[in-house]
Amino acid sequence: MKTQVGIIGGGPAGLLLSQILHVAGIDSVILERQSRDYVLSRIRAGVLEQGLVDMLRAVDVAGRLDREGEVHTGVNLAFDGRVEHIDLEGLTGGKTVTVFGQTEVTRDLYDARDAMGGTVVHEAADVTPHGFDGGTPSLTYRKDGMEHRVDCDFIAACDGYHGVGRQSFPPGTIREYEKTYPFGWLGILSRTKPVDEELIYANHERGFVLCSMRSQVLSRYYVQVPAAADIADWSDDRFWDELRARLPASVADVLETGPSIEKSIAPLRSYVAEPLNHGRLFLAGDAGHIVPPTGAKGLNLAASDVHYLSEGLIGYYRTGDETGLKSYSERALRRIWKAERFSWWMTMLMHRFPEEGGFGMKVQQAELDYLTGSTAAKTAMAENYVGLPY
């Protein structure tokens, strides 16, 4: 098989890149190691920056998003028994975020790829990049007991943190920056009315909680738990009791509970690999970086990587200009590090760090009190939360 861009990974980054390239007349093939059902079974965050919404609209994949997505003009911080509203729209001159499940974005991207005759190979095993150091890149993989090969001009590794792309860089060519956090997020999905029209991030001495949603009838909640927490120790009742205990009374009193339809624990990590390319192999999305979910940046960073990489590829195929490809890593990393900083800042501000003791808690309270009382500080938070320019 021959194509122009070989893409490893059929998650949001790989699918969005393939869709943008197709609309620009550039051929690509996606090799995904899981089945489509498996990919679509993943429960992921769903706060979309305007940049991602605009990208989806530009390639005609925003129909359902525009019908069903909920525009949020603000977000809430809860601490010290009170709830403080951050007016995202007012503080950023009109910018907002849209709440629409990442799984739904992925589903719509798959549907668009199918409708445009895109090639997505599922259950492609042992995908391996070759020849990306020189000018003859290719991807090999196994499927149905047979070896296959895709000859291409470029390889985009959109294969997530555990993917093969980054691991294929020659030894010593990648610098890695990492921070792990001593806790995880225990998340629950329930067919209940969200406790508030907007998201609530809560700092409490028992630990962090987040009140989010997928729609007005589907709620998503998270509770900070120790990194070694066992999901078997968390019944629904225990989850709801802990969530209530960490919320201000005004919120806890109106919390609607119900059976969980999904419950899982996710670790928190900050990670960046530099550079994001080696020869004609490019990393995009979680393949190159991971953020703690506190700032809702994971999907949105995948989108800005794809924006920069697609610009470089389109420039190359249209005019032979390699400027965009040569500057991809530097351009993407500048925005990635700002999102890493913001995600780290919100994580450090909102979670309990027992090792920091009472002093750490009081300093967090003081920063939250300052933040919610200062237009300058709220503006800084708001412009990062809605998404910095590409």
Q: Which does 294 bind (CB under 5 to 8 A by kind): ligand APR, ligand PHB, none?
A: ligand PHB
Strand partners, 79: 82
> Is 354 assigned a catalytic role?
no
Query: Which one of the spans 7-15, 43-51, 164-172, 331-339 is the region binding ligand PHB (CB under 6 A)?
Result: 43-51
> Is 148 assigned a catalytic role?
no
One character per residue 95-124, x = contact with ligand PHB (rule: CB under 6 A): ------------------------------
Q: Which does 11 bind (CB under 5 to 8 A by kind): ligand PHB, ligand APR, none?
A: ligand APR
Q: Which residue lies nearer to ligand APR by CB, 12 or 194?
A: 12
> Is 351 assigned a catalytic role?
no
Distance CA 201, CA 76 (A): 6
Distance CA 209, CA 236 (A): 15
Q: At what angle do helices 50-58 and 12-23 cross, to 10 degrees?
A: 40
Residue 255's contacts (CB-CB under 8 Å, 6 or more residues apart) are: 195, 240, 243, 244, 247
> Is 259 assigned a catalytic role?
no
Strand partners, 223: 186, 209
Q: Which residue lies nearer to ligand APR by CB, 51 or 298?
A: 298
CB atoms within 10 A of CB 256: 12
Strand partners, 8: 31, 157
Residue type present at position 70: E
**Residue from 12, 129, 194, 293 carrying the catalytic annotation:** 293
Q: Select from 47, 105, 299, 306 the one that contacts ligand PHB (CB under 6 A).
A: 47
One character per residue 296-325, x = contact with ligand APR (rule: CB under 6 A): --xx--x-----------------------
Identify which of 165, 149, 150, 158 has the alpha carbon closest to the alpha carbon of residue 27.
Answer: 150
Q: Select from 166, 220, 278, 289 the one that contacts ligand PHB (CB under 6 A).
A: 220
Q: Which residue lies nearer to ligand APR by CB, 155 or 368?
A: 155
Query: Applying CB under 6 A, does 158 fall inside the site for ligand APR?
Result: yes
Which DSSP string do the residues of 97-129 spell out, in sequence order?
Answer: EEE--HHHHHHHHHHHHHHTT-EEE-S-EEEEE
| Strand duo 154-157 + 146-151: pairing | unpaired
Which DSSP string do the residues of 212-247 spell out, in sequence order?
Answer: EEEETTEEEEEEEEETT--GGG--HHHHHHHHHHHS
Q: Select from 6, 12, 51, 207 the one that contacts ligand APR (CB under 6 A).
A: 12
Distance CA 153, CA 3 (A): 7
Owner of token pair 């998003």: 65
Q: Which does 343 bind (CB under 5 to 8 A by kind): ligand PHB, ligand APR, none?
A: none
**Residue from 297, 307, 351, 378 carrying the catalytic annotation:** 297
Query: Applying CB under 6 A, does 13 fall inside the site for ligand APR?
Result: yes
Residue type present at position 146: M
Q: Which residue lies nearer to ligand APR by CB, 192 or 384?
A: 384
Note every long-range contact of 228-237, with CB atoms under 8 Å and residues 24 or more positions apart, other chains counting: 229/184, 229/186, 229/265, 231/186, 231/263, 231/264, 231/265, 234/186, 234/263, 236/188, 236/260, 236/263
Query: Applying CB under 6 A, does 294 fall inside the site for ligand APR?
Result: no
Q: Which does 298 bind (CB under 5 to 8 A by kind): ligand APR, ligand PHB, none?
A: ligand APR
**Residue from 110, 141, 181, 201 carrying the catalytic annotation:** 201
> Is 182 assigned a catalytic role?
no
Query: Applying CB under 6 A, does 212 fall inside the site for ligand PHB?
Result: yes
Window 290-309: residues binding ligand PHB (CB under 6 A): 293-294, 296
Give the CB-nearest residue to ligand PHB.
212
Catalytic site positions:
72, 201, 293, 297, 385
Sites of contact with ligand PHB (CB under 6 A): 45-47, 199, 210, 212, 220, 293-294, 296
